[in-house]
Amino acid sequence: MKISGVDLKDLKEQYGTPLYIYDAKMLKDNMRLYKNNLVSKEFETEVLFASKAFNVKEMVRIVDKEGLSLDCVSVGEFFTALSVGYDPKKVYFHGNNKTPEDIRFILEHNVGVIVVDNLMEIVALDMITKEMKKPVDILIRLNVGVSAHTHKFIVTAHVDSKFGVAYDSEDFKTMLEVIEKSEYINFRGFHSHIGSQIFDLAAFDAAIDKLVSYCKDFKEELILNIGGGFGVHYTDEDKPIPFDVVSKNLIETCEKALKKNNVKIKKLCIEPGRSIVAEAGYTLYTIGFTKKTPNKEYYFIDGGMTDNIRPALYQAKYSCDIVGKENAKKDHLVTIAGKCCESGDLIIEDYYLPEAKPGDLLITYTTGAYGYSMSSNYNKALTPAVVFVEDGKSKLVVRRMRLDELIEREE
């Protein structure tokens, strides 16, 4: 089996397993699909990559080359972007509890936009910008009461999320008062993010409708950032909407809402993370022992929850194949278990595969988002290497962690 012309057995030989593999061409194609289709004659548009989904230097370089902006949620992500010369002015910085140190760091390094999450944050930002005499553009993160998860969405009256403020709340009014008095804070618009793995575009329509209706209360043309959350294919239950269709639909919805409300906006932003990287990513493992119990059959792999926590964390489902046996009879109902000392360390449960032998390679699909970025050294596992493949060539972008690195910060 090959990815972008590179044989998986050769990758195992060269880099070992577990191994994160990214199809670099697909990463670029995904970015272009969003960028080329999120266009309007009525307002500017901007596509940001939500870097929490996969933030490494080489990824930021590609984001930069493809002309996307960046969503960062921590100084660590921001620092990674700076380290490859990424323009900090193109960074939107998020977070519900930015520390004074975080705020000072990003201001010192000329962050583009801070997405302010709550009342206490705007007060802190007011103080720090004054002290540093540093102007900053901000968006306010609104909780629009549209909550979308997977195939359904709901509009709630009660907005209790840890993120954002409600438009009709006292906190929001006070935030505007703080901004009004501030010499350094420039209010530019709103942000909202309604959930993840969303397949129902009506959820975005509902959010856009609300955001646009709020714009009527402001004289200046605002920026609307409607977040990410566009769904991807993990298993055949998932039916993602093509990104060009998503982008065009968002534009259409926004243009209609603007007309209906007789208002203009400056810019519409989206910040997809998962949908840009998930399906471009694969994880390659080596199968070791196998085992039968009265009711189950296990294939054990040389990685597990330390390189993919999502099944253990929120019962995420994946699909997989045994390399070279993709077309063999899948007559074994097996559970793919990792090597961590944890019963919940199961990557895929009750899945039909062919018979496996120790040394066979197992590939899991759609692991490009929140896999590497959520990886851990639990059980003192070594973080796997990451390679990008394209046109028959592979490139190491993160080398495998070494044993000595596990203890280098320890006294």
Q: Which amino acid is at 358?
A: P
Q: Read out DSSP for 197-239?
A: SB--HHHHHHHHHHHHHHHTT-SSPEEEE----B---SSTT--
Residues 33-92 interacting with ligand PLP (rule: CB under 6 A): 50, 53, 71
Structure tokens belonging to residue 137: 């553009």
What is the nearest approach in angstroms of ligand PLP to the Cβ of residue 409?
28
Rule CB under 6 A: say whether 273 interacts with ligand PLP: yes
> In terms of CB distance, is 40 or 161 closer to ligand PLP?
161
Interface pick for ligand PLP out of 271, 279, 345, 390 (rule CB under 6 A):
271
Report how far residue 233's alpha carbon sits from residue 240's, in angstroms, rounded to the nearest whole number.
Answer: 6
Report how far residue 317's alpha carbon sits from residue 358's, in angstroms, rounded to the nearest whole number.
Answer: 24
Report how far residue 190's alpha carbon sits from residue 192's, in angstroms, rounded to the nearest whole number.
Answer: 7
Q: What Å distances lie between residue 175 and 137, 158, 179, 265, 303, CA to CA?
A: 14, 20, 6, 21, 47
Which span (151-159, 259-267, 270-278, 317-325) binds ligand PLP, by CB under 6 A?
270-278
Residues 184-213 interacting with ligand PLP (rule: CB under 6 A): 193, 196
Which span (36-44, 227-235, 238-246, 303-311) binds ligand PLP, by CB under 6 A?
227-235
Helix (H) or strand (E) holding 352: strand 346-353
> In terms of CB distance, is 240 or 272 closer to ligand PLP?
272
Rule CB under 6 A: say whether 310 interacts with ligand PLP: no
What is the nearest approach in angstroms of ligand PLP to the Cβ of residue 141?
7
Rule CB under 6 A: say whether 30 interacts with ligand PLP: no
> In terms of CB distance, is 18 or 228 closer to ligand PLP?
228
Q: Which of 96, 136, 135, 145 is nearest to 119 (CA)?
A: 96
**Sequence-separated (6 or more) residues with CB below 8 Å from residue 83:** 57
Rule CB under 6 A: say whether 11 interacts with ligand PLP: no
For residue 193, the SS3 value is coil
Catalytic residue of the set 215, 254, 340, 341 = 341
Is 341 one of the catalytic residues?
yes
Stretch 127-166: interaction string toward ligand PLP, x if CB under 6 A? ----------------------------------------
Report how far residue 141's alpha carbon sits from residue 136's, in angstroms, rounded to the nearest whole number.
Answer: 16
Structure tokens belonging to residue 64: 């930069």
Which span (31-39, 60-68, 265-273, 396-404) binds ligand PLP, by CB under 6 A?
265-273
What is the nearest approach in angstroms of ligand PLP to the Cβ of residue 246?
11
What is the nearest approach in angstroms of ligand PLP to the Cβ of residue 229?
4
> In terms of CB distance, is 151 or 400 closer to ligand PLP?
151
> In terms of CB distance, is 279 or 321 closer to ligand PLP?
279
Rule CB under 6 A: say whether 229 interacts with ligand PLP: yes
Interface pick for ligand PLP out of 145, 189, 228, 240 (rule CB under 6 A):
228
- Residue 205 backbone dihedrals phi, psi, to 5 degrees: -60, -45
Stretch 85-124: interaction string toward ligand PLP, x if CB under 6 A? ---------x------------------------------
**Sequence-separated (6 or more) residues with CB below 8 Å from residue 85:** 64
What is the nearest approach in angstroms of ligand PLP to the Cβ of residue 379?
27
The answer to whether the beta carbons of residues 351 and 2 sit under 8 Å apart is no
Report how far residue 360's alpha carbon sits from residue 168's, in angstroms, rounded to the nearest whole number.
Answer: 58
The answer to whether the beta carbons of residues 10 and 26 sit under 8 Å apart is no
Which span (147-155, 214-222, 223-231, 326-334) binds ligand PLP, by CB under 6 A?
223-231
Angle, CA 350 vertex, CA 344 and CA 355 arms, to 5°:
115
- Contacts with ligand PLP by CB under 6 A lie at 50, 53, 71, 94, 193, 196, 227-230, 271-275, 369
Active centre residues (catalytic): 341
